[in-house]
Chain A
């Protein structure tokens, strides 16, 4: 194992490493990120290793488990180098074909390629797949190229070059200046300019300063930071070291939620490796700069993603926010100046130092430079992680990259910014996504969660879901959040149960204002957003629930009813057999009828009724028609009728 004493040591090692690696040697990258693991990637990886061993090809073909390239919908993802052939939904039984055809005969295995659902056209390389073609993957792009357990792999793709560059030829002020000029804004929530935050810490009095990685990603449906920390931990670490150098910090922390065991493992290993290579510790690369990092596992509280709560938890106390009238970058962890940035923000730093602020500001919009990683989930064809330049339209993300809504359903809204973000309606699909445009639309960038909703989603229920989540995750310290959210949760639940009443919306607005204006921390202040943004864009749905006891999306269980259209029912008995409540009456050649008293509104009858009959109707806001009298239920064939 090398130990670098100077930047030249590192570059020499990199040259030797690359000259020892044959770029033409076949290499099989199997994504072993969380999504692909869940669809069986580790069996695929094992199958490759076993098969190579069986054929005695271990020395001729490299195999590696890599980080997440984002296309989780079609995992496990396998990329074969040097041709960069991308195979999707690979199973262990495909391994033999990939080895015999692609690796040995340089032929493509057609059935494993991406096929465009509309044109039927196949895509061989990752870059030819529409999901990837419209992305700009400067941060997450290396994930599939490196084994996240290997520092050498990171060095091979240019890792730690930014650190070497900074420590050999840049002063701390120059590093800070470059980040300031890049206009890099925090990717974790508020979008505060990172350079200004760093500068505040650098200029704050005192010798002890801290830099911290916020990897307490807790938004439902979000996994950007997870993919980075699991897939490319050294990129985050390199960014952190550069930040420490710029700020004048000698000690850093990675606060990572314990629910991400692989991220904990990979960042811990990365820190140990960096230490033994001389990239962390005393006198890094002979520059005289000392810096080391410790990993702290979060104990499972959403609120600890809030900066002051995170620092309180790091100090070993209950993770509750504290008043922030003096910013944490001046007085933070143990009352010392502390720079806290999220995983993705840190991962951008090496790129900025390597390629320069001018390169960075060319990507994105004037107010929001660079790219942003979103986790695209919900009612969308291509679930996964997407990295796009700021300023891309919502419709490009949803339709060009996400390939639209499954099942010919209509798009209704997209929820951005995590639980305390907001919902953006169809009329605003042309919105150019950046920090400011999302705030103006009543939502926020947050950490980059993007949940797509279709016409079957009830917006009142969405608000209820997120407010309930936030009630559950409130730390309980201040009244507007703990008590205000508790009441909002109750009222919204009542409305979705058809028990909404006149004045509920006004009360909700009062509670929302109280939390927004008077809550202690950012979590509480932004907590009413799910309600406020859905009220702003979907007020009619609230009114339908409260005044007409109707759920326009036919989603709120208490407000829907099912009945069987006697004209359409052919008495096939599918619903009768499947109804778990025994609420369907009927028999052979008899029109079936639902007993509304017994019906639990589970919707099974609606789902099992054959498409060719489609006799089960789902309604809301009106009573189902009375059932036919029993003596009129016999089904008579048309020919017999005549």
Chain B
């Protein structure tokens, strides 16, 4: 039985790659009338090594930081041709290509109000170049440029609040999803595509190589991030929080202990406390805790 995926097998992603799953779910949800502008990164490299391409839709890669600007040009061209109503435009990048080097182009695109869906695949480091720290690397993570040592417990900064930053631009739709919840990705992408204007979806995509876990643990890692409150799955429409995935909060150790990149924290209660604080703040801010209703 032939699959009608728009992102085909035969790409060279690592086994169990969260980003490969998310990328396929996104483009399948968007449909064949979509043009994609992709930044440099794992996804671009493993899906389009000449002479092969995994993409069944028109797809363009230019540089590391400009997919939002390239997509803006594509959108402008489609408007000029009178075709924008029939064709979706997606700009996609990793966390580095979004929060760091690509932030300027993204901000410009959001500010100008282009009808583009921007997808950030957040694997929390520069994975393609070898697991270096990015602006979306969580606090205390062991990466190659924020390594642990006698003087360090890893990355000294918390994640840059990208969803809040995009929300502050006043765009009609901002959502956060996770590769552990494939149907959530599909729903949010379909919702975003139906809205006119700039949209931002950030998808948490575990990286077995960079996060140091087994490929088949991708699901439990992704779910643990959500269930500890460290990665809230939220959804905003026109600046109003319209949905959040509610949880029965698990202690952050449940998430940290299944990944090698946090191994060093397990006998460090002081650092775990700091991370628990981040989770608790999220739970409070978004009201993530499922309240027991008294009968």
Decide whether A and B assemble into one complex: no
Binding site for A on B (CB under 8 A): none
Residues of A in contact with B (beta carbons under 8 Å apart): none
